[in-house]
Amino acid sequence: MLFYEPLFLFLFGPAVYLLYLFFGEVRARRAVILFAASVVFYAWSEPVFILLVFASVGLDLYVGQKIATSAASDTSKRWLALGVVANLAILVYYKYTGFLALNLDALLKALTLPGINIPQIALPIGVSFIVFEKITYLVDVYRGVTAPARSSLLYGLYVFFFPKLLAGPIIKYHDIARQFEAMPHADVDDFVVGFSRFMLGVVKKLLFADTLASGADLIFAHDVSSLGFAEAWAGVLFFTFQIYFDFSGYSDMAIGLARMFGFRLLENFNMPYVATSITDFWRRWHISLTSWIREYLYFPLGGNRRGEARTYLNLWICFFASGIWHGAAWTYIAWGAYNGVFLVLDRLFLVNRLQRLPDWLANIIAMIIVIVGWTFFRATSLSQAGALLALMATPWAHASAPIAIPPEYVVVALVAAAICVAQRLSLYVKDFDWGVAAQRFALASNGALSMLFLAALAKGLADPFKPFIYFRF
């Protein structure tokens, strides 16, 4: 069930919201309504896996209690290890078994040995996000950051909460536990602010991301040998804007829906394409994942407390792991390793060099690095990524047969680029804030947003639905 499908917009969403408002006078009843709605939401898309998630939730609750009752002892460490391994086992089995088997099969055949059967295992939607959030709960209890969940209902709601269930933002338990315990009752302001944010997300997804996706698909579906310099750059730029508007659009929908129910989720994007270095980019892009990696992987590895060489290694390991988390393919692994290298280079010298340049020039250099990374991310194979990058570095390369790119794809890409440039220019205006500006001109901004929202819905009903990119992760 997608947020912008008619089933959600005109039936599920309104029904749940009305139930929450009119039958949720009591805090416990609000929790039950939201939990039941969240379970139905997930089961609608993943009925086969719902029992597995329930079982793992029960294990988390049991392990969390055991960790708390044996705090600061080897026993608590063993319970924590059990809980983390059990959650990672779910992720590894469903996400990486096929990939590992495929590569083992290729290796065996290269050694002239009999191959193996490649299992076909369906990937549950949102499994990576769910597993990471469940691990935060166990680690938070072990560290004493939070107490074990007061009830199975509240912890189940944390895991299943439908606005963020499928693609984040990744919520750390200690950031949301008090809100779930308090179960705030939504007011008019929550609805207005939340629904406006939701509309913005729908516009980003349907008008921008889906159109840009068609442009990227058009280029990446072609044989690379038939492309030229312009086509290669066009395809990668289409995807560069697509992934931003797609994922930030989902985050806007999730944050907006949560706000409509009275909850505040942390921001997941902060104008990432204005970044002046790769370090700056990762402070702004998928903030919830970056902060999760910092707190639950980088710090446990030692962070920057064990010397420069170990710090560089830890940084690279973290983003290499991020690549693996994103997908079971060598292209994602290469993308993670690539980002890790530039984060190390930033720490070594690159940030200092970029800081000596004008911000606009540092931004262009950082974006070229990001765009090269997105080439690995979008490519279907390392060979395709390498061939595209070679074309992008060869201005005199021409396509063997021209590709007719529909004008609307180009127009949307130019508007997307203009939005990102406007974000960069806004940094030069003292005390400028996009949210404050929208409130100052509320009538105009809300009117324009409403018209774009209706246009987005019309497009969504007319065109085939395109799933969010991060549903694969």
Which residues have a catalytic role annotated? 326
460 token code pair: 């969504």
Distance CA 136, CA 30 (A): 24
- Whose tokens are 């990744």? That residue is 170
User: 277 Cβ partners below 8 Å, 6+ apart?
Assistant: 346, 350, 351, 354, 362, 366
Tell me: cis bond preceding 169? Omega within 30 of 0 counts.
yes
Residue 159's nearest CA partner among 134, 193, 191 is 134
Q: Give how far Cα 201 sits from Cα of 176, 224, 381, 468, Å.
A: 22, 33, 30, 12
Tokens representing residue 316 in the block: 């690279």
Distance linking the first and last C-alpha atoms of the chain = 16
Mark residue 262 as left, alpha or beta (left: phi above 0; alpha: psi -120 to 50; beta: remaining).
Answer: left
What single DSSP character describes residue 184?
A: P
Residue 137's closest CA among 100, 87, 94, 103?
87
What's at 271, amino acid-wise?
M
**What is the SS3 assignment for 115?**
coil
Separation between Cα atoms, residue 358 and residue 370, nearest integer Å: 18
- Between CA 100 and CA 337 the distance in angstroms is 18
Q: Which residues contact 405 (CB under 8 A, 6 or more apart)?
A: 215, 218, 234
